[in-house]
Structures are given as structure tokens and as C-alpha cells.
Chains A and B, each alone.
Chain A
Amino acid sequence: MDDLLTALQNGDGERTQSFVREHIGWMLAVSNRIMRDPHHGEDAVQNAFAKIFDKIGQFKGDAAIKTWMHRIVVNECLMLMRKLRRTQTVMVDDLQPMYDKNGCRIEEPWVTMETPESLALQSDTRAQVNKKIMQLPDNYRIVLVLRDIEELTTLEVAEMLQVSEANVKVRLHRARAALKKLLEPLMRGLPE
């Protein structure tokens, strides 16, 4: 490990290239999930590598290098989103659960509910789920991607987005509720 860090710091061309090739795939997957379009996804990855090479001397080895790099990619994505002004608030009210005037839930009865296991057997499930996640407005989608998919903690997400933990929790819940609504046809086994 120390050996790799030294090689990277010294600008060892061969080691740098294999390091980039080893990590760029998953980094691009993360940034595409956050940025939603491959062009900006690539920009964020490029910025992230610049930051990584710049800061590699400060990496203390107290966490796994992949975890450290993951935080950097996510941060670079968020910075790029801010620069692109893609952080406006868009509502997902029409995808939220409904209640009557007594606060009783109005929910279409679930005659059948597919399980994640049965859906996993269908080849295009992941693509369909991805498509629905991409339909969420950025301000909700990002919180869901960071907490549920990238598995950051509520506190980490709050710090990265510079909002309160309570704000993250409210948005996360609304994002999940909206996604549940969007995935209903799939979970009810109804073709679109």
C-alpha cells in the first residue's frame, strides 16, 4: 500500500496508469448514477482524479483507499451539480401517498406483490429500476442515490449537501415513497 502511494506521489507512469485503469470503471458508474448523463459523469471523474493525485500525500491510510476515493468522486459530482445549477427544488407531490380527510391511507389493494428475488430473475429489472430512479427530480434522486445506493450515512449526506440531517431524512423518505409509486406497475406484475 505505502509502495503504491509513494509510486503515485512520485508520478510513476506505469503504476499510475494501472491505478487509473483499476478504479475508473466503478468511479464512472458512481458518477453516472449521480450526474445522470455520461458526459457530465466523465467530467466529474476527471475532476476526481485530479483531486486524488493532488491529495494523495494527505491520504493517511486510516480508511480503505477505495472509501476515500469514493467520497472524492461523490463530492466532485455534487460540486459539478452546483456549478450546473442542478440543485433546484422540484416537488414530487403527485407521487406521494394519499389520505382521506381522517388521515386514512388510500392505497390500491395489492392483489399480488412481486418479491425482489422473483424480479431479479427477470433480465431487465435492473434497467427498469434504474430508469425509474432517473425519473426522480435531482433534489430527491441524489439523496436516495447517496444513502440507499452509495450507502453513505445520513450525517455524511447532510454534510456533503450542506443541509441538516432532518432535511436529508425528509427528502429520503419522500424520494423512496415516490420511487415506490413509480415501481408499482413492476411490483404488481403489470406490464407497462
Chain B
Amino acid sequence: MSAQRPRLLRRIQGLMFKLPLMISCEDFEDFILDYLDGTLPSRQKFIFEMHMKLCRECREYLEAYRTSLELAKSTAQEEAPKQPVPEDLIAAVLAARKG
């Protein structure tokens, strides 16, 4: 496994992200939810995508975030519970209905 972004590069990027139309990785993080929901206003979307082009860390982070989200969503495809529905639960529901 290779090392994290070298400290010097991080310092240069830290300065660069203070320029106009630039945001820090921390600000980038706050835009992610709205970006994925498609509700980010166009100016912010431009700034967000610009940061993504310049920052490999955030690009990879977002990709992993999306993959993780896809994996979470895929658990819903489990139509039926693994164990069959307990018969006594069905009986209890029906008994309660009869009153």
C-alpha cells in the first residue's frame, strides 16, 4: 500500500484551495449529499467538480462513498427474510384481529 499524500503537496494544495472558486476538502465534504441528490446550485456544482478534478483524494473518496452507498442499497433486494415467517407470529396477528 502506498503512502498518503506527502505533507508538502498537502501544504501546496491547502494554499491553492484558498484561491477564488476553490474549496477545501472539508468544504467539499459538505457538498456531497446535495451533489448526489442533484440539488446543488450550478455555481456550487461547478466549484465542486473543479475541486474533484484537482484533488485525487476527494475523487477517490467520493467514488468509495458511492460504492458503499450502492452496497447499502443492494441489501434492500432481499425480498424475503432468510428464516421463514414464524407461524406463531401469523397466528398472533390473526388472533388479535378476531379480538
Binding site for B on A (CB under 8 A): 11, 13, 16-17, 20-21, 24-26, 28-29, 32-33, 42, 45-46, 49-50, 53, 97, 99-100, 102-111, 113-116, 119-120, 125-126, 129-130, 133, 144, 148-151, 169, 172-173, 176-177, 179-180, 183-184, 186-187
Indicate the size class of the contact surface on chain B.
Answer: 35 or more
How many A-B pairs have beta carbons closer than 8 Å: the answer is: 168
Q: How distant is A11 from chain B, measured CB to nearest CB, in Å? A: 7
Contact assessment for A176 and B65 in the assembled complex, using a CB-CB cutoff below 8 Å: yes
Interface string of B14-39 (1 = CB under 8 A from A): 11010000001111110011100000
Contacting residue for A111 out of B1, B7, B10, B26, CB 8 A: B1
Contact assessment for A179 and B68 in the assembled complex, using a CB-CB cutoff below 8 Å: yes
Contact assessment for A184 and B64 in the assembled complex, using a CB-CB cutoff below 8 Å: yes
Contact assessment for B10 and A149 in the assembled complex, using a CB-CB cutoff below 8 Å: no
Interface string of B83-94 (1 = CB under 8 A from A): 001100110111
Contacting residue for A126 out of B14, B65, B78, CB 8 A: B78
Dominant SS among interface residues on chain B = helix
Contact assessment for B75 and A149 in the assembled complex, using a CB-CB cutoff below 8 Å: yes
Q: How far is the CA of A16 from the CA of B99 in the complex (A)?
A: 13
Residues of A within 8 A of B17 (CB): 102-104
Dominant SS among interface residues on chain A = helix
Given contacts A173-B29, A176-B69, 16 further A-B contacts (CB under 8 A): A13-B98, A20-B90, A29-B79, A49-B97, A97-B29, A97-B61, A99-B25, A103-B25, A105-B28, A107-B57, A110-B63, A111-B2, A129-B75, A177-B29, A180-B69, A183-B68
Contact assessment for A102 and B14 in the assembled complex, using a CB-CB cutoff below 8 Å: yes
Closest to B31 in A: A173
Residues of B within 8 A of A184 (CB): 64
Tell me whether A103 and B97 are in contact in the complex, defined as CB-CB below 8 angstroms, given that A24-B85, A109-B2, A110-B64 are known contacts: no
